[in-house]
Amino acid sequence: MKVGLFIPCYINAVYPEVGVAICKLLDYLGIETDYPLRQTCCGQPMANAGFEAQAIPLIKHFETLFGAYEYVLTPSASCAAFIKCRASGNIYEACEFLHDVVKVNKLPGSFPHKVSIHNSCHGVRELHLSSASELNIPPYSKIKNLLSLIDGIEISEPEKVDECCGFGGMFSIEEPAVSVCMGKDKLAAHLATGAGYITGADSSCLMHMQGIARREKLPVKFIHLIQILAAGL
């Protein structure tokens, strides 16, 4: 199996350690990986801000660059959801790919900490990484299933398990006061679990809450779920 790896802007510029972790994990699983050097932003920020004309060339560039791969993989639920809806149907968020395609059932290493899972809006309602609370269906969580493969980890989820953290891309720029208020509420729910770490599939959501936690001097750390899954590599 060979995949094309798409690393989103937030990870490339702010959290490169997440990109390193996904490469280590894919290598351990024996999955050959290509990283096209000409990749750019997928166009999501422009499209969300109403500048769809400026986003179209980036979407077309993505299709040209990644269209030949059977699988395209990205450690970002929001970018995967945007691309899946507007361009390529062969893109998978990393958790989705590991859970549904590779069907990983064993991973080395341990992470002896209590973590609280942040279920991002795109991940829940567009990629179905977990069941949406408003639906009358049996609950499930692909993130929880993968994290449970790691020794020593204690997994928790906050009350109002899939409530938005307030980031919302351009929403946090256009409505900063509301965005911060929502972020504080979400952080309080995560902290109430007693977890030392908050994890999830979107670096953007984690970044938003991390900024609030730093300003408020809250005793919690943030880590992308891929970093936990690759902890033993």
The predicted structure's pLDDT at residue 163: 96
Q: What is the mean pLDDT of residues 27-53?
A: 94
The predicted structure's pLDDT at residue 115: 98
Sorting pLDDT into bands at 50, 70 and 90, what band is 86? confident
Q: Residue 1 above 90 pLDDT?
A: no
Q: What is the mean pLDDT of residues 176-204?
A: 97
- Angle at the Cα of 193 (from 192 to 195), degrees rounded to 5? 110
Q: Residue 229 above 80 pLDDT?
A: yes
Class of domain 2-102: alpha beta
The predicted structure's pLDDT at residue 103: 97
Phi, psi of 204 (to 5 degrees): -65, -45
Q: Residue 89 above 80 pLDDT?
A: no
- Does 43 or 170 have the greater pLDDT score? 43
The predicted structure's pLDDT at residue 87: 72
Q: Residue 2 above 80 pLDDT?
A: yes
Each domain of the chain, given as residue ranges in start order, spans 2-102, 114-229
Per the CB < 8 A criterion, the answer to whether 215 and 64 are in contact is no
**HSE (CB half, 13 Å, CA atoms) of 155?**
19
Q: Residue 3 above 70 pLDDT?
A: yes
Sorting pLDDT into bands at 50, 70 and 90, what band is 88? low
CA distance 169 to 215: 20
Averaged confidence pLDDT in the chain: 95
Residue ranges with strand state E in 47-157: 71-74, 91-93, 114-118, 154-156
Percent of the chain having pLDDT more than 70? 100
* pLDDT tens for each residue of 90-134: 899 999 999 999 999 999 989 999 999 999 999 999 999 999 999
Instruction: Work out the burial of residue 195: count CB atoms within 10 Å of its CB; fewer than 13 is exposed, 13-18 middle, 19 or more buried.
Output: buried
The predicted structure's pLDDT at residue 37: 95
The predicted structure's pLDDT at residue 48: 87
* pLDDT tens for each residue of 45-80: 999 899 999 999 999 999 999 999 999 999 999 999
| Residue 143 CB contacts under 8 Å (≥ 6 apart), including other chains | 95, 117, 119, 123, 129, 130, 199, 200, 201, 225
